[in-house]
Amino acid sequence: MTDHGDPEDGDLVEPAPACDVPADVADAVRTLIRWAGDDPDREGLLDTPRRVARAWREYAKGYREDPAVHLSRTFEEVGGYDEIVLLKDIPFQSHCEHHLAPIIGKASIAYLPKDKVVGISKLARVLHGYSRRLQVQERLTAQVADAIWKHLQPKGVAVIIEATHACMTARGVSTPGVMMTTSRMMGTFREDERSRREVLALMGY
């Protein structure tokens, strides 16, 4: 399936200028390095506080946007198409709000349109807008589904997210290879068993 009019996806985008790092942010990273047992003034770590701060500015850029704005431009001329629209296995990364550890996974997002559709890249943009914040996977799943339900007003929405959490794989119980799965079904995908089975089959479940 091709995208429904998304000219900005093909535009050349100027790289964002490096952000200025406030002194207190850099100092906080130095304090953490020192607390962890290393010397923030040794050669290999001299620029680390600024790098970490800039990285977190990027990791958390979802706070500086309203993900739902990507659903504001819709299309009604779809040749009578009224079946499921699915974007499958969208990769994403986020950070756990409890340990600031990476969450790395994939999402499948589907909706059953009523009278309008949205450019498919916008589904990924909504996911990324919410994932680039401090998160728990359950809330991320609900936020993506709720935004699509509210702004597209479809007959049904289905979101399934699978992810690994470094707060579990790299610390604590230290159990690598464990995948967490969360889902949210709304409308016909929640109320009608046949529709639910159909969307799950398309997603590969």
CB 106 within 8 A of CB 89: yes
What pLDDT sits at residue 7? 46
pLDDT at 177: 85
Is 19 one of the catalytic residues? no
Q: Is 70 marked active-site? A: no
Task: List the catalytic residue out of 135, 143, 151, 167.
Answer: 167
Contact (CB, 8 A) for 102 and 142: no
- Positions in the chain short of pLDDT 50: 1-3, 5, 7-14, 16
Does the active-site annotation cover 96? yes
Q: Which of 96, 128, 143, 151 is catalytic?
A: 96
pLDDT at 81: 85
135 noted as active-site residue: no
pLDDT digits (tens, 9 = 90+) for 33-73: 999 999 999 999 999 999 999 999 999 999 999 999 999 99
Question: In three state form, how does the secondary structure of the chain look?
Answer: CCCCCCHHHHCCCCCCCCCCCCHHHHHHHHHHHHHHCCCCCCHHHCCHHHHHHHHHHHHCHHHHCCHHHHHCCEECCCCCCCCCEEEEEEEEEEEECCCCCEEEEEEEEEEECCCCEECHHHHHHHHHHHHCCEECHHHHHHHHHHHHHHHHCCCEEEEEEEEEEHHHHCCCCCCCCCCEEEEEEEEHHHHCHHHHHHHHHHHCC
The pLDDT of residue 117: 94
**Among 128, 137, 151, 198, the one annotated catalytic:** 137
Q: What does each C-alpha distance from 185 to 14, 89, 115, 156, 161 come to in angstroms?
A: 38, 17, 19, 8, 12
pLDDT at residue 50 in the model: 97
Give the per-residue pLDDT at 6.
Answer: 52
Q: Does the annotation mark 97 as catalytic? A: yes
User: What pLDDT does 19 receive?
Assistant: 67
